[in-house]
Structure 1
Amino acid sequence: MIRVVRGNPTPEELAAALAVVRARAASAAAVPDTAPPPPAQWSDPARIARATRALPGPTAWARTYWPA
């Protein structure tokens, strides 16, 4: 529903404004939505970085070595 809030448009002005609104609505509806779907929560890379890492300290060198 469209309502004139200010002014006093002539019938021709109102018809022209309505034609523009209807044309824009029709063109927006005709364009297919090509946006990719949002990624799933489990594949979000930010999920991995949520845990805080331990700050380096005097024994930080020991945590970098993985014995075979």
Structure 2
Amino acid sequence: MSESTAAGDATPPDIRVRRGNPTDEELAALIAVVGGAYLEESAEPAIVAPARSRWELSARGLRRPLDRERRWGGFSG
């Protein structure tokens, strides 16, 4: 994000109530919470996962430890 874009320059989200009949206090609380969260999220840079190398993509996971309680001939019970 460039330095010219500050938190005060961001446009607030468009909030519309589609159902119900909220009071003025409920609308004010909604706008304060959602608007604050929106501005906070838009101020932070997006987290991008680093690209995995070919080695990491081809490597297998570790083998699970052997189950010592299991007997030979697994289907015999």
TM range (shorter): 0.3 to 0.5
Q: Which has the higher helix share?
A: 1
TM-score by length of 2: 0.42
TM-score by length of 1: 0.46
| Structure (1 or 2) with the larger CA radius of gyration | 1
